[in-house]
Amino acid sequence: MKKNFKNLRSSQAGLTLIELLIVLVIAAGLLFGIFYLVSQANERAIVRDEVQSYNTMVNDARTSFRKQGNYLGLTPQVLIQLGLVPPTMVNGTAIRSGWNTPVLVTPINLNGTAGDGMEWNYNVPRVSCPNFVDGITNSAARIAIDGTVVKNVPANLNTVNVATVATACDAGVGGNIAILLATGR
């Protein structure tokens, strides 16, 4: 009788291969979940920082060009030289977003006069597109997502249609998408 008890104990001393695999699958699932949550939090932080930087740069550019009366001569390099670009976004004479994509800015004809507006060109990951657009909606007079105009105050399109933004951004596709933001004086 003692011999059977001894064999029973020794066979239950360690984990079986199936039990070990179950533990590894659970651990992998937990790690994946943690990495996913950290990734989502990081993406939200980048969007928040980009919206804040955009709003600050636009307001500072308005202030700097106010006396001139237009935005003629406005370039990324000029904004950098004026100290209007956050240091984390400066890459030589170019502006780089938190997604490590170029940010372009040019003077445009927004309301009928040459240089009466400025246009900012961002390349944004599609997954961040809806949140980025939502964050800058109130500070841009015209917003175009990959060529689709979703807001155009000069043409009396003052609100943004969420369904149009969703279709234009199409976060399920992946990759980057061009977002043009125009604002005036």
- Between 88 and 5, whose confidence is greater? 88
List, in order, residues 6 or more apart from 181 with CB less than 8 Å away.
54, 119, 120, 121, 122, 136, 140, 142, 143
* Residue 77 pLDDT > 90: yes
- Contact criterion met (CB below 8 Å) for 144 and 179: yes
Question: Which CATH architecture does the domain made up of 25-184 adopt?
Answer: 2-Layer Sandwich (3.30)
Mean pLDDT, rounded, for 72-87: 95
CA distance 138 to 88: 24
pLDDT-above-90 percentage for the chain = 58
Mean pLDDT for all residues in the chain = 88
pLDDT in tens, 119-140: 999 999 999 999 999 999 988 9
Local confidence band at 11 (pLDDT 50, 70, 90 cut-offs): low
Tell me the CB-side half-sphere exposure of residue 52, using CA atoms within 13 A: 10
Question: Greater confidence, 56 or 8?
Answer: 56
pLDDT for residue 33: 81
pTM value is: 0.77
Closest CA to 118 of 153, 63, 75: 75
pLDDT band of 13, cuts 50, 70, 90: low
Any idea of the CA torsion for 131, 132, 134, 136, to the nearest 10 degrees? 160
**What are the residues whose beta carbons fall under 8 Å from the beta carbon of 98, sequence distance 6 or more?**
46, 49, 50, 53, 88, 89
The answer to whether 119 touches 182, Cβ cutoff 8 Å, is yes
Please give the pLDDT value at position 183: 92
163 or 5, which is more confident: 163
Query: Residue 9 above 60 pLDDT?
Result: no
Strand-pair category, 117-125 with 94-96: unpaired
pLDDT at 118: 95
3-state secondary structure of 126: coil
Q: Where are the domains of the chain?
A: 25-184
Question: In what order do the strands lie in the sheet containing 102-108?
Answer: 90-91, 94-96, 102-108, 117-125, 176-184, 142-145, 148-152
